[in-house]
Amino acid sequence: MMIKKSIISVYLVLLCLSNFAQKKDINRISKEQKVYELSYVWKELSYNFDNMDNCPNVNLDSLYQAYIPIVQNTKNDLAYCKTIERFLAHFNNGHTDIFDIPSYLYPYVARPYIKTAYKDAKIIIENIGKQYKDKINIGDEILTINGINAITYFKTYYVPYVCASNEETKINKSMFSVGPPHLMLKGTKIKLGIKTSNGIKNVDIYADKDLLDTTNNWLIQNNSNLKNDQFYLDTVNGFAYLRLLSYNEHTREYFFSNIDAIHHSKYLIIDLSDNGGGSFNFKDSILQYLIDQDSISTYLMKTRVNFAAYKAMGERICNNPSYKDYEYYKLYCDYYHSNVFESMYGHKYKNLMDSIYRYKGGIYIIINSNTGSAAEGFVITLSQAKNVTFLGQKTAGATGEPLGVFLPSGLLVRINTRKTYDFQNRNVSSGFSPDYEYDFSDFYKTSDPEELLSKFIEVIKTLNNNK
């Protein structure tokens, strides 16, 4: 009996030590450092963020002041990181966000093993971890989360943490289990009220998908056409289909490895849905092949100009009504209010690819709210071509150059530094809109590439018949 009590005592001591160690490891950042890091982010936003027109109701200084006590009172380092993400989410930009949390938090943080989608004003379960296969079915609807209406819960507790340029992207990225909103301490329980074909039931799930776990425990494995870049042909209808999941040197190699089949196809579909980007160059060989023009234009970008001396003069002049009629009044006032931008790019360069080698067929580009960064740059540049049609949903709005802000805690923040314009001089910093709106998300549920391509062709034929 004494031995048993001793074993229990040792176990309780070890458990307490473990809990103490965890508590210490997730509470490394002092209140003073939290305020310093928030202040550092606020400073960089003040000088370098270029997209305040995408968040017209935000007063940067007032927002910063409001968040000082909030960051001070966060209960642990994970909550602090998520609070910084919520602060950044006010700026409605896909390149203004938290890029990475401190690495020491990785062992203590997880996401729930569940994927959902927002469709027809409902939260639908699209995938689950195998551990829940006897509790949850794919296609079930989530009615409540922790006793609260599911849509209300998402809009209250998840959407405010999403850094994105348009509302559709915010909703999509708030779904389980994408991005910072769903980072939780490992083992956190979530109570779901689920509507099934047999009625309503309650199910508990947990934050059990470790950040460092590379195993794939999903009930439905990713379809092969979603894992890698893919290329398919429909010779009967004359279509080539290319799905690109990133945009970098590998993309170029893959594209030109299929160039013969592409070149002899009457139509080309380039699927960039869920393409998060990579690296982009205006003189990219893919663009030179697809844009059948002797010169290719770069789309216009603008970046903020900080001219300290002019700003100082603006402070003196703008606050004195007697200067209002002077011709330089607006110039100095614009510097004072940080409203001066200089243009970047917006010029033309020679297409080095001979015309006989360029693509002459019809091009259809599939985009969605997860098409971002370098992929968006590719899309905007390609929009100058006359034979290109864009289908799908507005892109993510993350085309500018993000400034990396490395904080002492290990938190990595990004701040966007450019405004982006299309060839009609429209500001597309918040996303590039397609020629035809269409939700293609259900298309990717098939594992049959021929079926996927035939569905796209059916939509395209409908568009062509309606012209």
Determine what percent of the chain is predicted with pLDDT higher than 90: 75
Confidence label for 311 from pLDDT (cuts 50, 70 and 90): very high
pLDDT of residue 447: 79
Provide mean pLDDT across the span 239-265. Answer: 94
Please give the mean pLDDT across all residues of the chain.
90
What's the mean pLDDT in 128-145?
A: 95
The CATH H-level superfamily of 224-302+345-396+431-465 is 2-enoyl-CoA Hydratase; Chain A, domain 1 (3.90.226.10)
Q: Tell how far CA 316 is from the center of its chain.
A: 41
What dihedral angle (degrees, nearest 10) is formed by the CA atoms of 108, 29, 97, 227?
Answer: -20
Cβ atoms 93, 401 nearer than 8 A: no
* Rounded Cα distance, 431 and 392, in Å: 12
* Confidence check: pLDDT of 3 > 60: no
Round to whole Å and give the CA distance between 199 and 188. Answer: 26
What percent of the chain stands above pLDDT 70?
93
Supply the pLDDT for residue 305: 94
Segment 41-52, tens digit of pLDDT: 999 999 999 999
pLDDT digits (tens, 9 = 90+) for 401-452: 899 999 999 999 999 999 999 999 999 999 999 999 999 988 988 878 889 9
pLDDT for residue 23: 67
pLDDT over 60 at 292, yes or no: yes
Determine the pLDDT at residue 421. Answer: 95
| pLDDT over 80 at 339, yes or no | yes
CATH 2.30.42.10: does it fit domain 108-210?
yes
pLDDT recorded at residue 180: 83
- With a cut of 60, say whether residue 281 has pLDDT above it: yes
pLDDT confidence bin for 13, thresholds 50/70/90: very low
Residues 176-214 have pLDDT tens digits of: 988 788 999 999 999 999 999 889 999 999 999 998 877
Spell out the SS3 assignment of the chain: CHHHHHHHHHHHHHHHHHHHHHHHHCCCCCHHHHHHHHHHHHHHHHHHCCCHHHCCCCCHHHHHHHHHHHHHCCCCHHHHHHHHHHHHHCCCCCCCEEEECCHHHHHHEEEECEEEEEECCEEEEEEEEHHHCCCCCCCCEEEEECCEEHHHHHHHHCHHHCCCCCHHHHHHHHCCCCCHHHCEECCCEEEEEEEECCEEEEEEEEEEEECCCCCCCECCCCCHHHHCCEEEEECCCCEEEEECCCECHHHHHHHHHCHHHHHCCCEEEEECCCCCCECCCCCCHHHHHHCCCCEEECCEEEEECCCHHHHHHHHHHHCCHHHCCCCCHHHHHHHHCCCCEEEEECCEEECCCCHHHCCCCEEEEEECCCCCCHHHHHHHHHCCCCCEEEEECCCCCCCCCEEEEECCCCCEEEEECCEEECCCCCECCCCCCCCEECCCHHHHHCCCHHHHHHHHHHHHHHHHHCC
Q: What are 348-378's pLDDT values in tens digits?
A: 999 999 999 999 999 999 999 889 999 999 9
461 — pLDDT class (breaks 50, 70, 90): very high
Domain boundaries, the chain: 2-100, 108-210, 224-302+345-396+431-465, 306-339
Among 314, 377, 306, 318, smallest CA distance to 342 is for: 306
Is a pLDDT exceeding 80 seen at residue 22? Answer: no
Given pLDDT bands bounded at 50, 70 and 90, which one contains residue 228?
A: confident
Is residue 267 scored above 90 in pLDDT? yes
- 16 has pLDDT over 80: no
pLDDT of residue 119: 87
Over range 323-329, report the average pLDDT.
90
**What is the arithmetic mean of pLDDT over 58-65?**
97
pLDDT exceeds 50 at position 320: yes
Task: Please say if the pLDDT value at position 2 is more than 70.
Answer: no
pLDDT recorded at residue 223: 44
Give the pLDDT confidence score for residue 309 in this predicted structure. Answer: 95
pLDDT at 20 over 80: no
pLDDT at 323 exceeding the cut of 70? yes
Query: pLDDT class for 265, splitting at 50, 70, 90?
Result: very high
Q: How far is CA 397 from CA 117, 167, 307, 402, 430, in A?
A: 20, 11, 28, 12, 4
Indicate the pLDDT class of residue 227, thresholds 50, 70 and 90: low
At residue 95 the predicted structure's pLDDT band, cuts being 50, 70 and 90, is very high
pTM value is: 0.86
